[in-house]
Structure 1
Amino acid sequence: MISKEDYLCSICLGIFIDPCRLKCQHVFCQSCLLDLIDFHNIKYKCPMCRVEFINKENPLIIDLELQAFVQNNFPNQYQQRVEEQKIIRSLLPNELKIEVNYGNYYKFEDDEDDGLQHQWTVHVSLDYTKQSDKIALNNLDLNSLIKNVTFTLDETFFPDVITVRQPPFLLTRWGWDVFTIPIKIKFKKEHKIQPIELEHHLVFEDDGIEKRQIVKIDISNLSQFQVLKQNSQQQLQQQQ
């Protein structure tokens, strides 16, 4: 017989929602992990056994097989947890933790004419850290909030400052060597979200490199968040 007790998160003590399995095999709700870890450090520790795991191992990937199992075997409890997450989202400060995914694709080609053998494409995109946030905000595409992304290249390029105004936010060039590219993400004026600035150092190995950084943005001016907050407040009033 399947016991619900075997599928409870040891942090929130609720049934798993968006479960993430660490390399030590301990499982936690994704939102619980996000609330505990320090995003400015590269190494994190399991809340249970303190074994370190590294950001590039992407421990926040949801175990879809386990999630489906929980949904199928405990549908009522799972749906209740989803609704709880929506309410929690609306009661938190107007900040949303999001993923900035960036890096570069790389391809080597032998060009005897001008010697430009390295083709690279630097790219930037935004994504949710929590599936529950995406559901709560009515599947809002975070990339639709972006006004433009500016890439500042080495001064040997002309022009050396390129602004991409439409998704996908990427830039392809040929070059001789690697260098660091400052990146600035600006959001549409009506959202009143502060720009995100980061740097990417090109990698000319294999197919390139993928990176991720977790940042906080103020979503208080998003209509989706205002509707969520209003609906959740009404639900709370009805329960009282």
Structure 2
Amino acid sequence: MGNTANHLSLCVSQSSRKTRRERPYVSRPFWQYQYENHLNISTHMSSDSQIREISPRRLLPIMNVDILNVYRDCPFCLKLLFEPTSTLCGHTFCLLCMERFILTSERVLQCPICRDDLNYLRSSSSHLKTNAILHNLFRQQYEKEYEIRRIETENERKQIIKKRFIIGNTHQLLSCDYDYTRHEWTLFVKLNNDDQDDISQYIKQVTINLHPTFTPSQVILDKSPFCLTRIGWGVFTIYFTIEFHPQWKKSDFRTSWFLSFANTGNQKRIEIEFQKPTDDINNDEMS
């Protein structure tokens, strides 16, 4: 009986150790520090903010201030981190800087520090969350400077216009013979369906580069609707450049689209930021 009890106790002990080892890693701060109760800190929601608040009085980091000064600046804007958001690879950036980085990265999205894959942020960029611990730590340690950064960020957001464009093609099968198949397709660039603005207010022209077998192989669309219809037998990648009106002071946007002959076609959405013209900003301030 005694041996059985000892064996059972040993199994339970081993099971407990195994459970502790396999517990998932919850937090990954960008420097080593500890605070009371191992993250079991009482939290509350601020009435004027959506950021999850942690009482600075309960936050007890054990760290060197010099280390904090090393990590305090955003790698993008080189200013004090405001609304810091952390990636899975452990690097931290300003929330606004990260949003812009996601919008301006055309293809593979990689961390600018370690080149880790960040493509998971494309589908969740609108749900980026502020690191509440760092937010409160910076706000407490750099109170005046953090308030200046808050005002700067609010002013920047007021000057930004975000527009969602749709790029894709429609498709129709014209004939399907054994020796010859013909498809009619229309490439298009347009604003999101629920956007009432005129696309020609933003886009000056679109330069489309087709397969060399088409004549002409380069087509320039200088007025809306920005669409091009052709008839062909196969799919290929279309490269094109979107040029914006000078008032937006925005560089050309280069992208590509692989033709889709599946059913009626396909499309993708891209979001582009525009800086409000100076006149519009002045009008907003006066109002």
TM-score band, normalised by the shorter chain? 0.5 to 0.7
* CA 1:175–1:227: 2 relative to 1, 3 Å: same
Question: Shift in Å at residue 92 of structure 1?
Answer: 2.7
TM-score by length of 1: 0.53
Equivalent position of 1:96 in the other structure: 161
Equivalent position of 1:152 in the other structure: 209
Is 1:43 the equivalent of 2:99? Answer: no
Among 170, 180, 189, the alignment partner of 1:124 is 189
Equivalent position of 2:280 in the other structure: 224
TM-score by length of 2: 0.45
Cα separation, 1, equivalents of 2:282 and 2:199: 16
- Tell me which amino acid in the other structure corresponds to 2:277: N
Which runs of no fewer than 5 residues in structure 2 stay unpaired? 1-46, 53-95, 110-118, 127-152
Equivalent position of 2:254 in the other structure: 197
Cα separation, 2, equivalents of 1:182 and 1:222: 33
Cα separation, 1, equivalents of 2:222 and 2:100: 35
Equivalent position of 1:64 in the other structure: none
Question: Shift in Å at residue 116 of structure 1?
Answer: 5.2
Is 1:164 the equivalent of 2:221? Answer: yes
Cα separation, 2, equivalents of 1:214 and 1:149: 17
Which runs of no fewer than 5 residues in structure 1 stay unpaired? 1-7, 14-31, 45-53, 61-87, 233-240
* CA 1:231–1:151: 2 relative to 1, 3 Å: same
Q: Tell me the secondary structure at the aligned position of residue 162 of structure 1.
A: strand
Q: Tell me the matched-pair count.
A: 161
RCO (CA 8 Å, sep 6+): is it higher in 1 or 2? 1
Equivalent position of 2:232 in the other structure: 175
Q: Which one has the bigger strand percentage?
A: 1
Query: RMSD of the alignment, in Å?
Result: 4.1
Question: Shift in Å at residue 94 of structure 1?
Answer: 4.1
Equivalent position of 2:27 in the other structure: none
Cα separation, 2, equivalents of 1:176 and 1:210: 20
Deviation larger for 103-112 or 163-172: 103-112
Equivalent position of 2:271 in the other structure: 214
Percentage identity across paired residues of the two chains: 25
Q: Tell me the secondary structure at the aligned position of residue 201 of structure 2.
A: helix
Question: Shift in Å at residue 213 of structure 1?
Answer: 1.7
* CA 1:38–1:200: 2 relative to 1, 3 Å: same
Question: Shift in Å at residue 183 of structure 1?
Answer: 1.5
Cα separation, 2, equivalents of 1:160 and 1:205: 24
Cα separation, 1, equivalents of 2:158 and 2:201: 22
- Tell me which amino acid in the other structure corresponds to 2:270: Q
Q: Tell me the secondary structure at the aligned position of residue 171 of structure 2.
A: strand
Equivalent position of 1:67 in the other structure: none
Cα separation, 1, equivalents of 2:49 and 2:211: 49
Contact 1:186 1:196 in 2 (8 A): yes
Larger Rg: 2
Deviations 1:113-137 (A, max 9, x none): x945111111112359xx9xx8xxx
Cα separation, 2, equivalents of 1:161 and 1:9: 53
Cα separation, 1, equivalents of 2:125 and 2:265: 21
Q: Tell me the secondary structure at the aligned position of residue 109 of structure 1.
A: strand
Cα separation, 2, equivalents of 1:180 and 1:209: 14
Equivalent position of 2:241 in the other structure: 184
Equivalent position of 1:109 in the other structure: 174
